[in-house]
């Protein structure tokens, strides 16, 4: 029996719900008996049956003596639904193959322990790296109570995100822009600065090819509550709310006006700028597990300086914009020497028609340790 083959099937099932299960993980389950798939399912969204329950229901009596493949350890606690470990045991499953243990402290190996104690065979660690990448946002959220953060930028070959005039539409092509909208559909929230709102009046919605898409929560860094009341992020129809992050220095009248216009205003701190680590804590309390930063240079600079960025997606177009006054993707003071530059690992390069996308993870030592300093 090919454990990797069926685990890959479970991972593909789980990924069907990308962007829909938060704050829960994406989970797929496959039941196999005598080399035949007798049941399968995936968790569609929070509050609905878990993947294991759906697969067991489909398999019926065929679940007895079968092998269950699941990309995350079956839960053993009561949440919005009952414990899956109990259901697996009661169904008479003979063997459980899990890609990884559940990092949730409420589970943390308890599900597999219960299954083992019931006499079932357990195999752990099949395609664990792939499983961890799939649920990277859930893992960070459940272990740190902070959202997973992706910083995205679109730039020219000479490193410009806009012309010297400030105009930035469109540097990258349709394929790259379509992928960005897919990211918006997958991530719980999108974060920009007030400069982007004032300059571009963006909608910050997910517009997928053919229509559809789930809008992310729109988060605006706006220390003094300057977001116009007629801005698209305020006026447009969307199921997702707009959160305006201000400081204690924001004029009360402006704050009240934004709230009356429908925005959620959160006062983050008393300093001149919104404290990003504190904002991440507040967003996590709202069960936002992932944040896509589409900021300008100063927002990116502050985010890297604050150590909140986990992953980077840089879209590079084969264009030369030029101009000493044209902005680059990361502002702030930066480092004094290239030897101290922030470094990425696990790099992936992909082609999107004429553009390329470079994705990578910020090395752990550059998270939370302020390797770059924001401009005062």
Q: Which long-range contacts (CB under 8 A, 24 or more apart) does 203-208 make?
A: 203/232, 203/233, 203/236, 204/232, 204/233, 204/294, 205/236, 205/238, 205/240, 206/181, 206/182, 207/181, 208/178, 208/181, 208/182
Among 242, 222, 224, 225, CA closest to 233: 242
Among 244, 248, 183, CA closest to 219: 244
Binding-site sequence positions for Zn(2+): 50, 75, 84
The one catalytic residue in 12, 52, 128, 345 is 52
Sequence-distant (≥ 6) Cβ neighbours of residue 271 within 8 angstroms: 247
Among 329, 328, 265, 270, CA closest to 303: 329
Peptide bond into 170 cis (omega under 30): yes
Enter the tokens of residue 302.
């502050």
Binding-site sequence positions for NADP(+): 154, 170, 196, 200, 223, 296-302
Dihedral, CA atoms, 166, 170, 171, 176, nearest 10 degrees?
A: 140
Determine the Cα angle at 362 with ends 333 and 177, to 5°: 90
Q: Which residue has the tokens 């009596």?
A: 61
Enter the tokens of residue 148.
């997973």
Residue 359 designated active-site:
no
Determine the Cα angle at 276 with ends 272 and 281, to 5°: 125
Binding-site sequence positions for substrate: 168, 184, 204, 207, 294
Binding-site sequence positions: 50, 75, 84, 154, 168, 170, 184, 196, 200, 204, 207, 223, 294, 296-302
Strand partners, 49: none
What residues act catalytically? Answer: 52
């Amino acid at each position: 029996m090919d454990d990797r083959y069926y685990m890959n099937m479970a991972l593909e099932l789980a990924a069907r719900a990308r962007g829909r299960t938060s704050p829960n993980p994406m989970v797929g389950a496959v039941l196999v008996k005598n080399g035949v798939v007798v049941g399968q399912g995936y968790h569609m969204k929070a509050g609905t049956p878990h993947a294991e329950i759906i697969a067991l229901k489909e398999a019926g009596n065929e679940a007895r003596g079968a092998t269950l493949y699941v990309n995350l350890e079956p839960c053993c606690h009561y949440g919005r639904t009952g414990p899956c470990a109990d259901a697996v045991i009661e169904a008479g499953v003979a063997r459980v193959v899990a890609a990884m243990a559940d990092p949730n402290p409420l589970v943390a190996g308890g599900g597999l322990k219960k299954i083992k104690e019931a006499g079932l065979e357990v195999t752990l660690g099949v395609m664990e790296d792939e499983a961890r990448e799939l649920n990277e946002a859930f893992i960070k959220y459940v272990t740190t109570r902070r959202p997973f953060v992706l910083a995205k930028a679109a730039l020219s070959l000479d490193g410009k995100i806009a012309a010297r005039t400030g105009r930035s539409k469109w540097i990258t092509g349709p394929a790259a822009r379509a992928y960005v909208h897919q990211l918006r559909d997958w991530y719980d929230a999108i974060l920009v600065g007030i400069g982007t709102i004032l300059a571009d009046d963006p909608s910050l919605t997910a517009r997928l090819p053919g229509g559809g898409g789930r809008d992310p929560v729109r988060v605006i860094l706006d220390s003094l509550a300057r977001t116009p009341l007629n801005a698209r992020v305020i006026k447009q129809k969307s199921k997702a709310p707009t959160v305006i992050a201000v400081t204690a220095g924001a004029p009360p009248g402006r704050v009240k006006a934004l709230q009356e216009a429908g925005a959620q205003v959160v006062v983050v701190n008393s300093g001149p700028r919104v404290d990003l680590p504190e904002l991440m804590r507040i967003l996590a309390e709202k069960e936002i597990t992932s944040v896509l930063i589409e900021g300008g240079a100063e927002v990116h600079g502050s985010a890297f300086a604050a150590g909140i960025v986990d992953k980077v997606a840089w879209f590079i177009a084969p264009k030369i914009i030029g101009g000493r006054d044209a902005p680059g993707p990361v502002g702030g003071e930066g480092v004094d020497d290239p030897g101290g530059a922030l470094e990425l690992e696990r790099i992936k390069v992909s082609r999107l028609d004429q553009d390329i996308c470079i994705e990578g993870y910020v090395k752990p030592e550059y998270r939370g340790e302020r390797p770059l300093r924001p401009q005062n």
